[in-house]
Amino acid sequence: MKTSRRQIASVVTVCGLVAAGLFAVSAPAQAAVLGSLKIAPGSGNLQTVISVSTPGQCDQGSNIKVIISGAGVQSATENIVGNTAITSYPTNLDGGFDIEFPSTLADYGTTQSPALTSFSGRYDISVICKNSFGATTYGTFTGSLYFSSGTAWTSTKPATTTTLTATPASSSYQGENVHLEAAVTPLGVAGTVQFKDGAVDLGSVSPAPTGVASLDTTALTVGPHILTAVFTPADALSFGESTSNSVSYEILTPAAPSVIAGASATGTYKVGYTLACGAAFQGASSTAYAWLNNGVAISGQTASTFYLSGSYYNRTISCTATGHNSYGDTPSTSAGHLIALGSKPTLRRAPVISGTVKVGKTISTSKGTWSLSGLTYSYQWKRNGKSIAGSVARKISYKVVAADKGKYLTCTVTVRKTGYASNSATTGRKKAA
């Protein structure tokens, strides 16, 4: 067969154009996403048998393969379903087809190198339409698994929740610090929290490992505010953004402190006990205290606590708490309380008679040991349980007289302290010879 010079010239021309890049065969287009996969069940673990359903048929191609991609998956072994004829799978009600994975994720993990025993974050599933031979693909159906732990997954992107609180609650004065806290769940999700005053950004903070982000501000102006916090995850493909509850907040014009809870003196209203003065103020930078005896301030008593010594028995004690800031002072005085007798001293060791109990001899008693210090003591000697008359029988020592012979002698020791109930104890008896 003869070839004309014109034909040869044409071939040479085409080859020259190809070599020069002026005429080229176009490469296959990037395979389009054909739709989203339905993954069943909606959640599971590494032992769960997974199936996926396409919403329709492949536009072209007779076969499919299924791949998984994500942390720890090697590209050489990403196929979980190899090149398989579409006719191998049942048609579903949407007109697509259902594919049950031939192995669990636990089994699939053993095909990786190193073995994948703990999954993390998002794993994408792709059903790829293709022919039985060749690398050309004709579209992809996609879906994802989201792991909240190394073994548990869901087929929907995990939501986050952000909860906002403000301290002080509800309101504060202009210039005072307002502490904002945003708690983000689930714990450990990386990202940032943007605190907002209406549409105005107050500051962006990353949550701590505890899931709480905090911001202190003195920039809020006088008037009402709507405060929110918006969490933006670092991995937006794996976690959803969340906006907190709205917190209504009022910034008040600066003024002297106001009383939130009036002063109260709490404790046991009895000698020997300590009272505490408490009050709550809004807008106070400091609080001062005073204690009052029958309405009169007690000199030097400026602590928040007050010890009831014996001198305050049968007195009415109250306290005044004064909230202070640079705009003024606001006092609050508690109700007064009548102070009762303190508890009587407790005997720890009984008094004992010492000496020879014989007519003409002098004997003595010990004081005994008691629970309180600073006691005063009085004595009463007794003969056969009856008090002996006269001052000589009301001393710590006693001279045995003839009338005592053959009788039993004892001594009762009475202890007293101002503001406390008294107590007494009697020695064991001794027979006079």
Summarised one tens digit per residue, pLDDT across range 237-265 is: 888 899 999 999 999 988 899 999 999 99
List the one residue out of 412, 424, 423, 356 whose CA is nearest residue 387: 412
Domain boundary among 198, 225, 252: 252
Q: Which two tokens stand for residue 129?
A: 């339409």
Half-sphere exposure of 214 (CA within 13 A, CB side): 11
Residue 166 clears pLDDT 50, i.e. is over it: yes
The domain of 308 spans 258-338
Q: Is residue 53 part of a domain?
A: yes
Same domain, 360 and 407: yes
Q: Which region among 168-177, 323-332, 390-399 has the lowest average model confidence (pLDDT)?
A: 168-177
Give me the residue label for tokens 């029988």.
393
Q: Is residue 192 part of a domain?
A: yes
> Angle at Cα 226 formed by Cα 258 and Cα 178, nearest 5°?
45
Same domain, 150 and 39: yes
Mean pLDDT for the chain overall: 91
Q: Which region among 157-161, 162-166, 382-386 has the lowest average model confidence (pLDDT)?
A: 157-161
Summarised one tens digit per residue, pLDDT across range 69-92 is: 999 998 867 899 999 999 999 999
Q: Can you give the pLDDT at residue 151?
A: 93
Q: Is residue 270 part of a domain?
A: yes
Q: Can you give the pLDDT at residue 190?
A: 87
Q: Can you give the pLDDT at residue 31?
A: 66
Helix (H) or strand (E) holding 146: strand 137-147
Give me the residue label for tokens 């080859």.
15
Same domain, 145 and 78: yes
Domain count, the chain: 4
- Between the alpha carbon of residue 313 and those of residues 63, 204, 418, 422, the distances in Å are 99, 59, 8, 14
Q: Is residue 272 part of a domain?
A: yes
Give me the residue label for tokens 């950004």.
201
Q: Can you give the pLDDT at residue 22?
A: 33
Same domain, 107 and 143: yes
Beta bridge partners of 98: 53
Same domain, 41 and 149: yes
Summarised one tens digit per residue, pLDDT across range 295-310 is: 999 999 999 999 999 9
Domain boundary among 218, 236, 252: 252
Same domain, 115 and 213: no
Same domain, 328 and 380: no
Residue 293 clears pLDDT 70, i.e. is over it: yes
Give dist(CA 190, CA 399) in Å, integer. Answer: 92
Residue 324 near residue 284 (C-beta atoms within 8 A): yes
Same domain, 80 and 145: yes
Q: Can you give the pLDDT at residue 23?
A: 32
Q: Is residue 22 part of a domain?
A: no
Confidence category of residue 13, pLDDT binned at 50, 70, 90: very low
Residue 233 near residue 189 (C-beta atoms within 8 A): yes
Q: Can you give the pLDDT at residue 294?
A: 98
Q: Is residue 112 part of a domain?
A: yes
Same domain, 43 and 70: yes
Residue 67's CATH number: 2.60.40.10
Residue 207 near residue 193 (C-beta atoms within 8 A): yes
pTM of the model: 0.48
- Between the alpha carbon of residue 318 and those of residues 54, 304, 305, 309, 403, the distances in Å are 79, 12, 11, 15, 57
Residue 312's CATH number: 2.60.40.2700
Q: Is residue 334 part of a domain?
A: yes
Residue 332 clears pLDDT 60, i.e. is over it: yes
Give dist(CA 258, CA 280) in Å, integer. Answer: 9
List the one residue out of 231, 240, 306, 227 whose CA is nearest residue 271: 306
Beta-carbon neighbour count of residue 314 at 10 Å? 12
Residue 15 clears pLDDT 50, i.e. is over it: no
Q: Can you give the pLDDT at residue 186?
A: 85
Same domain, 301 and 364: no
Domain boundary among 228, 252, 276: 252
Q: Is residue 21 part of a domain?
A: no
Same domain, 275 and 369: no
Residue 254 near residue 173 (C-beta atoms within 8 A): yes
Same domain, 379 and 297: no
